[in-house]
Amino acid sequence: MAWYRLRRRTVKRTIWFCLFLALLLGGSGCCTMKTLDAARGKPYSDESGTKVEESQPGYYALLPLAMVGDAATLPIQAPIYIFIFFVGQSVPN
């Protein structure tokens, strides 16, 4: 009977892991995307309104921290995005 409980617990953990992974992949990833854009040198406007387009490859070292930041803020962001998806879609005519 112990192997059955172990297998059931393993299946339960695997399902939770897959759901969490799907939630992470479906998240916005705003910190990660901003870090990648800065590292690649995507054009953006700074505070004074001038366009800046210089690449900074040192930002690639910050990617692990950016991904952890996205994963840590996901529980806060997910309900907001779900609310915006369901409520924000209905625009009155």
Report the SS3 class of residue 44.
strand
Asked if residue 90 has pLDDT above 80, the reply is no
What average pLDDT does the structure give for the chain?
78
Q: Where are the alpha helices (DSSP H) in 27-91?
A: 30-40, 63-87
Residue of 58, 5, 59, 54 lying closest to 36 (CA atoms)? 59
pLDDT tens across 27-83, in order?
A: 667 888 888 888 888 777 777 877 777 888 899 999 889 888 888 887 888 788 778
The residue written with tokens 């366009």 in the block is 51
Say whether pTM exceeds 0.85: no
| pLDDT greater than 60 at residue 1 | no
Domain ranges of the chain: 2-87
What pLDDT is recorded for position 61? 92
Torsion (CA) 60, 71, 27, 21 in degrees, nearest 10: 110
Question: Which 8-state DSSP code applies to residue 88?
Answer: T
